[in-house]
Amino acid sequence: MIIVTRPHIADHDLDRIREYIESRGLRTHVSQGDERTVVGCVGDVQSLDPDAIRALAGVADVLRVSKPYRLAALEFVARPTLVSIGDARGTTFGGSEIVVAAGPCSVESREMILESAHAVSAAGARMLRGGAFKPRSSPYAFQGLGAEGLELLAEARAATGLPVVSEVLDPRQVELVSEYVDMLQIGARNMQNFALLAEVGRVRRPVLLKRGLSATIAELLLAAEHIMAQGNSQVVLCERGIRTFETATRNTLDVAAVAVLKRETHLPVIVDPSHAAGRTDLVAPLAFAAIAAGADGLIIETHPNPAMARSDGDQSLTLPSFTSLMKLLAPFAAAAGRTIASPTPENAHVVAGVAS
Amino acid sequence: MIIVTRPHIADHDLDRIREYIESRGLRTHVSQGDERTVVGCVGDVQSLDPDAIRALAGVADVLRVSKPYRLAALEFVARPTLVSIGDARGTTFGGSEIVVAAGPCSVESREMILESAHAVSAAGARMLRGGAFKPRSSPYAFQGLGAEGLELLAEARAATGLPVVSEVLDPRQVELVSEYVDMLQIGARNMQNFALLAEVGRVRRPVLLKRGLSATIAELLLAAEHIMAQGNSQVVLCERGIRTFETATRNTLDVAAVAVLKRETHLPVIVDPSHAAGRTDLVAPLAFAAIAAGADGLIIETHPNPAMARSDGDQSLTLPSFTSLMKLLAPFAAAAGRTIASPTPENAHVVAGVAS
Amino acid sequence: MIIVTRPHIADHDLDRIREYIESRGLRTHVSQGDERTVVGCVGDVQSLDPDAIRALAGVADVLRVSKPYRLAALEFVARPTLVSIGDARGTTFGGSEIVVAAGPCSVESREMILESAHAVSAAGARMLRGGAFKPRSSPYAFQGLGAEGLELLAEARAATGLPVVSEVLDPRQVELVSEYVDMLQIGARNMQNFALLAEVGRVRRPVLLKRGLSATIAELLLAAEHIMAQGNSQVVLCERGIRTFETATRNTLDVAAVAVLKRETHLPVIVDPSHAAGRTDLVAPLAFAAIAAGADGLIIETHPNPAMARSDGDQSLTLPSFTSLMKLLAPFAAAAGRTIASPTPENAHVVAGVAS
Amino acid sequence: MIIVTRPHIADHDLDRIREYIESRGLRTHVSQGDERTVVGCVGDVQSLDPDAIRALAGVADVLRVSKPYRLAALEFVARPTLVSIGDARGTTFGGSEIVVAAGPCSVESREMILESAHAVSAAGARMLRGGAFKPRSSPYAFQGLGAEGLELLAEARAATGLPVVSEVLDPRQVELVSEYVDMLQIGARNMQNFALLAEVGRVRRPVLLKRGLSATIAELLLAAEHIMAQGNSQVVLCERGIRTFETATRNTLDVAAVAVLKRETHLPVIVDPSHAAGRTDLVAPLAFAAIAAGADGLIIETHPNPAMARSDGDQSLTLPSFTSLMKLLAPFAAAAGRTIASPTPENAHVVAGVAS
């Protein structure tokens, strides 16, 4: 149930509304907009009487939410959620700037992650991606450098000022990974790993939640709800392709999911064209399409030497290709009424400034 | 097998190459580029000796095509195929202009098709769509006005100068429909109706071939091959969404298919965002994404009064919405290095000129 | 709308009911059970007043059918439909005997079809399958022997007494194919070829309707409805695997579809394990599963020499393998409370008797 | 790499083979058949020289395994794996008896789990299922009784002698759950939760591994490999339906997966018809089909009062329906050359004996 208040409600009126709800055993979640304030009620809403609530001072309307997700629902908050990373550049998902995260599938060595970080930063990326713990279908494949990989990511951040996103696979790793990274990634295979979702819901780190290979959009939102229900509402959703019968691409990018999500939720939505395509020559057109459909950002795999990558080499752009791609993205961002950082000396300057 | 000639090959050398191939029981298909000429060989290529062909005067290279489609393959022709409709405006698929076809799902009455044609023409559409024969899952649903619908389409064309595309369902209708329309549409359900494909392959009308609901990209190209093998190479491919588990949209727009097709074939590729989405609020973002991914055109459902439509009302734009959409498409077309007609007095003028 | 009569309704009462309905512009379809008679009303049922009909003599109840199919709906007829082929053996789909059709994917020569027919007949098959007109993804693949193939099928029938089922691809072929075969097959790719469905609906030949690769069960029933609405209710449905992400099998046999269909329709349902599996080693377990789930029959591909088959060799059983399979099927048929013909001298005798 | 020994190899020869492999940094896994012994080599097999190994005493052959899974591969062991639960009845998956596990989706109360256990035991079930920790798409749905549910399952086991299978969701729960249950279940959503797979791979409890909703058969085997690579080879695989476009059933039972798995792996394979169907009227036909296709067992949801179930009520059989189903399964088991426990006084006796 969602309570919409009258414009500029007085604090004591808002407090009385919350007390009323909480005294009936539910939790409240307040979202402050410029004018409008929204009070979400989580718990057994059947026990509430909408008419009684409407009678409270300062209440404009009471809405019953029939959707299975509430905290993630668009109606639930007064304005779109901005997920701020808190770095020197002020990287924020969900604002007017399209945020691009880039970097290797997995951190393989000190040299490669530093080279990657410098290059993607100069190209305009606002975040460095890199896997330390890798989920692999086969137990015999490279599983990542683990804690050592986290150290290397921290070093790359120190050198470039780029905030870092990395995947967490195990509830027991959440604390450790949170110490090193700026954003925790939940991979597609773990989208319904509820123990892990609950754990990242308890830390104060933004979460990048990837859609499962065969998860519906509603299930993705419910997975976000699992995180948010634990108190962490800094969630960014990521469409990365779904599994279909088509084999020309590794997955089928459901570009409409971006547009549907923007109509269903206040959370930022980004796209991973690399995993969707599974081949480098399609990364650019899918990135263009994602921005055109309204995505708030992109996460793109790069590698200094894709042919030698220990995972996902087929879909990793070279660093020069990534720099070229960033230039090509700008007109699409502009067409969508957004901005995007471009490869410029300015970017190099910021990097230098942060790194010095 | 494909024979690539040396630049500016002499006619008599080209003739000797063709005679050589045809004397061995195969057919040849010559594609002339600005410099390079390509000779495709169709038939039992196993019987040809590549080395013997390489020894012929004017031959630069001989390529074995391992793909199951040949006439549709990118390697097969010297330059992208332009499909020209032959109308006063010079509408052409595959050139620098993005071509938009628009109109109702089915022709319902004289008034509605004329109103639609005038409005979409003024908004910048280059082609009028409208079903006279409708494939319907249920035998009890409205099946279209049939021949009367064709007459009304012809009247709308006369009134606006807009060329017309309409679906053909039955090999026995191909001749009749061809008399009325400028482009024959093969619907998704008939993508592998080989009798129908062969029949449209025998007429001299451009064909709009829609991808089947669960057809792979390779199967779509083979369906085009069925048409082309009969002598009609004026084929435009259309991605219109595939069937997946996701139910938030009617189908899942496989936007990557556009990019894959542009790398596999020389044929123009357009997108139908209306059928992919199945809901009007997603038509615009999917249209933007299609153009960003490289589509050569769009086909969009409109209706003067969607709530009263006899089919597909949920996904039909109102005429004012379509006009607005056309304006919004322009910056995406520009970002993709393309042009698109906009709703302008100029367009109205063209219409007036043609109609008078 | 469906009208259920009182037990043993008098003929003149039944006539008055029909006249009432037909006078309002609808068609009626009467199904006579042992006790109960059911009158189906097809057309604009909105114009009928159920209460007025309930007031007619002999009417027990009036049901509104909310499902999109009516003639195919289980509620629509008084008892399961038996589709009788009319051969000397009395082959009937939908009765207590499980009917097995077997034979090659395509008729390749006189020798092979005769050898196949004799062998599958002796093994207990009740019908010979064999393609004369073949739908092929590629226009360059073998398209079947055409009319010559039909002649050979007729010769095989004469030699063995086995009735024949063969695919029809084109509405213009229906008359020709009907002259030669006992049952017309609509292939998966043509399940929504409505022109073809209408044409087979107009002839007096049983129809084997295969489920499309991505057709829902409801769409399969609507396709049957297209045939039945033209007056031909002798339709047998065939589950043959659907297209999914799994690649270990050619298609995914939706064995639950058999059980669902038996709860939705009165039409017989058979299974094609050969196309579902796409590999011979899985034909037997899928055939067992189909019978266990309630299938009324099977259609199985065999070839005297699968390695030399011109189509679908990978999934064709050798003739001895088919004979072995027939023996293995018997206990599963018995477990399902059904019978099945076994490879016995008796079968050979029947064959001899018919052939002499 | 797999080393096949000569018949009746001497122990010291076998020891030398293992020493040779292990001295090169790989692990060995020995599987003893009646005659043949197989030594699997796990690790960096590229470093081994097959010819050197062939030269060792007692070696008959050396096979390179190209499949991505090894420990789970059929070629890897000398005979099918039997997974024995260790209860008084000697319940064993993979032997001649088809093992049926039954019980509620979630343990809801002492009364309902005891009633369920007694009833399914008398009906012939060999194992009690019941969820204590439930994975739910929504964070607001009932998540199970947790530790209390485990206590109640233990009490039901004590009362009936039925061993117990229950799901584990979190690596941190594995130790606790292992203390209470006889078999650990990994649910479909966690099939690629590699942290959890590793953890259950380290305990000495049989594992029931369910196929993910969109997991390929190869991925299911790789998930088993993750468990086995940690030393636990007591893994039973479970097909429970995959996600497709069809909505008539909750999932699409991929019955062919059973047959494919029996050809790919030595591990037992069971089927969950309840989750596949999602509706009770289809549980019986799917159970029949599973057995016909070669399944080693079934896991079926029951509830004393399905209408009041806190989860999955739509697909839960009543206890009398389950008893009826067990009787109907027997002839299909016999047709498949297997046995199955039936509802008999004898079963009741066993129960009484164990419980007293």
- The confidence score (pLDDT) of residue A317 equals 96
What is the spatial distance between Cα B211 and Cα B186, in angstroms, rounded to a whole number?
9
Best B47, B66, B67, B193 residue to mutate vs chain C (most C CBs within 10 Å)? B193
Strand, helix or coil at B278?
Answer: coil
More confident of the two residues A124 and C77: A124
Which other chains touch chain A, taking contact as 3+ CB pairs less than 8 Å apart? Answer: B, C, D
What is the spatial distance between Cα A156 and Cα A162, in angstroms, rounded to a whole number?
8
Best B213, B253, B296, B328 residue to mutate vs chain A (most A CBs within 10 Å)? B253
The partner residues of A165 in beta bridges, in order of sequence, read A129, A183
| pLDDT of B355 over the 50 cut | no
Best C29, C71, C192, C244 residue to mutate vs chain B (most B CBs within 10 Å)? C192
Q: Are D126 and D101 in contact (CB under 8 A)?
A: yes
Pick the residue from chain C with its C-alpha nearest to B67. C138
Q: Which residues contact D40 (CB under 8 A, 6 or more apart)?
A: D1, D2, D3, D28, D29, D30, D31, D70, D71, D76, D77
Best C45, C189, C202 residue to mutate vs chain B (most B CBs within 10 Å)? C189
| pLDDT of C355 over the 60 cut | no
What is the spatial distance between Cα B278 and Cα D59, in angstroms, rounded to a whole number?
64
- The confidence score (pLDDT) of residue C239 equals 98
Q: How confident is the model at residue D223 (pLDDT cuts 50, 70, 90)?
A: very high
Residue type, C61: D
Which residues from chain C sit within 8 angstroms of residue D216, using beta carbons? 245-248
| pLDDT of A186 over the 50 cut | yes
Strands (E), B97-215: 97-103, 127-129, 164-167, 183-186, 207-210
| pLDDT of B130 over the 50 cut | yes
Q: How confident is the model at residue B66 (pLDDT cuts 50, 70, 90)?
A: low
Give the gap in angstroms from C-alpha D247 to the nearest C-alpha of chain B: 9
Closest C-alpha to C125, from C355, C341, C351, C332:
C341
Q: Angle, nearest 10°, between helix axes B283-292 and A255-264?
A: 140
Closest C-alpha to B240, from B261, B260, B255:
B255
Q: Are strands A164-167 and A127-129 parallel, antiparallel or unpaired?
A: parallel
Q: How confident is the model at residue C32 (pLDDT cuts 50, 70, 90)?
A: confident
Q: What mean pLDDT value characterizes chain D?
A: 91
Strands (E), chain B: 2-5, 27-32, 37-42, 59-63, 83-84, 92-93, 97-103, 127-129, 164-167, 183-186, 207-210, 235-239, 269-271, 297-301, 339-340
Q: How confident is the model at residue C201 (pLDDT cuts 50, 70, 90)?
A: very high
Closest C-alpha to D102, from D352, D321, D249:
D321
- The confidence score (pLDDT) of residue B25 equals 84
Q: Using the 8-state DSSP alphabet, how is residue D172 labeled?
A: G
Of the given ranges (A71-80, A111-120, A258-267, D196-205), which has the lowest mean pLDDT?
A71-80
Pick the residue from chain A with its C-alpha nearest to B276. A256
The kind and range of the H/E element at B330 are helix B319-335
Q: Centre a 10 Å sphere on the Cβ of residue A12 and count the other Cβ atoms it contains.
A: 10
Closest C-alpha to D277, from D309, D310, D314, D306:
D314
Q: What tokens appear for B257 in the block?
A: 């298919």
Which other chains touch chain D, taking contact as 3+ CB pairs less than 8 Å apart? Answer: A, B, C
**CB–CB contact C139 B229 (8 Å):** yes
Strand, helix or coil at C321?
Answer: helix
- The confidence score (pLDDT) of residue B345 equals 63
Of the given ranges (C54-63, C172-181, C248-257), which has the lowest mean pLDDT?
C54-63
Give the gap in angstroms from C-alpha C244 to the nearest C-alpha of chain A: 5
Mean pLDDT of D108-134: 97
Burial class (CB in 10 A: 0-12, 13-18, 19+), D46: exposed
Strands (E), B23-114: 27-32, 37-42, 59-63, 83-84, 92-93, 97-103
- The confidence score (pLDDT) of residue C349 equals 46
Q: Can you say whether the dihedral through the CA atoms of C312, C314, C316, C320 is positive or negative? A: positive
Which residues from chain A sit within 8 angstroms of residue C247, using beta carbons? 247
Q: What is the pLDDT of residues C288-344, one digit of tens each?
A: 999 999 999 999 999 999 988 888 778 999 999 999 999 999 999 999 999 999 887
Q: What tokens appear for B272 in the block?
A: 């139908």
- The confidence score (pLDDT) of residue D45 equals 77
| pLDDT of D33 over the 80 cut | no
Q: Which ipTM score applies to this complex?
A: 0.88
Q: What tokens appear for B334 in the block?
A: 């520009």
| pLDDT of A66 over the 70 cut | no
Mean pLDDT of D182-191: 97
Mean pLDDT of C129-142: 90
What is the spatial distance between Cα D28 and Cα D42, in angstroms, rounded to a whole number?
6
Which residues from chain D sit within 8 angstroms of residue A212, using beta carbons? 214
Q: What is the pLDDT of residues C109-118, one digit of tens each?
A: 999 999 999 9
Which residues from chain C sit within 8 angstroms of residue A243, using beta carbons? 245
- The confidence score (pLDDT) of residue B65 equals 65
Pick the residue from chain D with its C-alpha nearest to B244. D245
- The confidence score (pLDDT) of residue C33 equals 72
Which of A255, A256, A285 is closest, CB to CB, to B294?
A: A285
- The confidence score (pLDDT) of residue D77 equals 82
| pLDDT of D335 over the 60 cut | yes
Closest C-alpha to C264, from C36, C43, C77:
C77
Mean pLDDT of A90-98: 97
Q: How confident is the model at residue B78 (pLDDT cuts 50, 70, 90)?
A: confident
| pLDDT of B100 over the 70 cut | yes
Q: How confident is the model at residue C351 (pLDDT cuts 50, 70, 90)?
A: very low
pLDDT-above-90 percentage for chain B? 72
Q: What mean pLDDT value characterizes chain C?
A: 91
- First-residue to last-residue Cα distance in chain D: 50
| pLDDT of A338 over the 50 cut | yes
Burial class (CB in 10 A: 0-12, 13-18, 19+), D199: buried
Which residues from chain C sit within 8 angstroms of residue D217, using beta carbons? 246, 248
Q: Using the 8-state DSSP alphabet, how is residue B200 labeled?
A: H
Q: How confident is the model at residue A348 (pLDDT cuts 50, 70, 90)?
A: low
How large is the greatest C-alpha to C-alpha distance in chain D, in angstroms? 67
Q: How confident is the model at residue C47 (pLDDT cuts 50, 70, 90)?
A: confident
Mean pLDDT of D259-286: 97
Which residues from chain C sit within 8 angstroms of residue D256, using beta carbons? 248-249, 252-253, 276-277, 282, 285-286
Which residues from chain C sit within 8 angstroms of residue D213, using beta carbons? none
Which of A68, A139, A192 is closest, CB to CB, to D229?
A: A139
What is the spatial distance between Cα B233 and Cα B81, in angstroms, rounded to a whole number?
9
Q: Are D104 and D125 in contact (CB under 8 A)?
A: no
Pick the residue from chain B with its C-alpha nearest to C196. B170
Pick the residue from chain B with its C-alpha nearest to D214. B245
**CB–CB contact A285 B256 (8 Å):** yes
Pick the residue from chain D with its C-alpha nearest to A218. D137
Which residues from chain C sit within 8 angstroms of residue B210, using beta carbons? none
Which residues from chain C sit within 8 angstroms of residue B192, using beta carbons? 135, 137, 189-190
Strand, helix or coil at B204?
Answer: coil
**CB contacts < 8 Å between A and B, how many?**
125
Which residues from chain B sit within 8 angstroms of residue A214, using beta carbons? 245
| pLDDT of A289 over the 60 cut | yes
Which of C173, C193, C229 is closest, CB to CB, to B193?
A: C193
Give the gap in angstroms from C-alpha A69 to the nearest C-alpha of chain B: 15
**CB–CB contact D136 A190 (8 Å):** no
Best B213, B245, B251, B252 residue to mutate vs chain D (most D CBs within 10 Å)? B245
- The confidence score (pLDDT) of residue D66 equals 65
CA distances from residue A111 to A103, A156, C38 in whole angstroms, order as listed:
13, 10, 80
Q: What is the pLDDT of residues B168-207, one digit of tens each?
A: 999 999 999 999 999 999 999 999 999 999 999 999 999 9
Give the gap in angstroms from C-alpha A191 to the nearest C-alpha of chain B: 16
What is the spatial distance between Cα C19 and Cα C39, in angstroms, rounded to a whole number?
12
Strands (E), chain D: 2-5, 27-32, 37-42, 59-63, 83-84, 92-93, 97-103, 127-129, 164-167, 183-186, 207-210, 235-239, 269-271, 297-301, 339-340
Best A244, A271, A325 residue to mutate vs chain B (most B CBs within 10 Å)? A244
Q: What tokens appear for C260 in the block?
A: 């669902």
Q: What is the pLDDT of residues D70-79, one digit of tens each?
A: 899 888 887 8
Give the gap in angstroms from C-alpha A234 to the nearest C-alpha of chain D: 17
Which residues from chain D sit within 8 angstroms of residue B244, using beta carbons? 245
Q: In chain B, which residues touch D (CB < 8 A)?
A: 214, 243-245, 247
Best C245, C246, C249, C252 residue to mutate vs chain A (most A CBs within 10 Å)? C245
What is the spatial distance between Cα D94 and Cα D96, in angstroms, rounded to a whole number?
7
Q: Residue D7 phi/psi, 5° resolution?
A: -55, 140
Q: What mean pLDDT value characterizes chain A?
A: 91
Closest C-alpha to C32, from C7, C56, C53:
C7
Measured at the alpha carbon of residue C311, what is the angle toward residues C175 and C256, in degrees to the nearest 5? 80
Mean pLDDT of A61-72: 80
- B/e letters for B145-171, b = 16+ CB within 10 Å, e = fewer, are beeebbebbeebbebbbbbbbbbbbbb
Which of C245, C255, C285 is closest, CB to CB, to D294?
A: C285
pTM, 2 dp: 0.89
- The confidence score (pLDDT) of residue A349 equals 46
Residue type, C254: D
**CB–CB contact B138 C222 (8 Å):** yes
CATH class of C83-355: alpha beta
Q: Are B127 and B117 in contact (CB under 8 A)?
A: no
| Boundaries of every domain in chain B | 2-64, 83-355
What is the spatial distance between Cα A343 and Cα A321, in angstroms, rounded to a whole number?
12
Q: Which residues contact D190 (CB under 8 A, 6 or more apart)?
A: A192, A193, D135, D169, D196
Q: Which residues contact B203 (CB under 8 A, 6 or more apart)?
A: B174, B175, B178, B184, B232
Q: What tokens appear for B293 in the block?
A: 């991914």
Q: How confident is the model at residue B349 (pLDDT cuts 50, 70, 90)?
A: very low
More confident of the two residues A313 and D106: D106
Q: How confident is the model at residue A347 (pLDDT cuts 50, 70, 90)?
A: low
Give the gap in angstroms from C-alpha B259 to the nearest C-alpha of chain D: 25
| pLDDT of A78 over the 90 cut | no
A2-64 is classed CATH 3.40.109.10: no
Residue type, B203: V
What is the spatial distance between Cα A301 and Cα A279, in angstroms, rounded to a whole number?
11
Give the gap in angstroms from C-alpha A214 to the nearest C-alpha of chain C: 10
What is the spatial distance between Cα A119 and Cα A102, in angstroms, rounded to a whole number?
10
| pLDDT of B356 over the 50 cut | no
Q: Are strands D164-167 and B269-271 parallel, antiparallel or unpaired?
A: unpaired
Pick the residue from chain A with its C-alpha nearest to C244. A245
Burial class (CB in 10 A: 0-12, 13-18, 19+), B307: exposed
Q: In chain C, which residues touch D (CB < 8 A)?
A: 214, 216-218, 242, 244-249, 252-260, 263, 276-277, 281-282, 285-286, 288-294, 331-332, 334-336
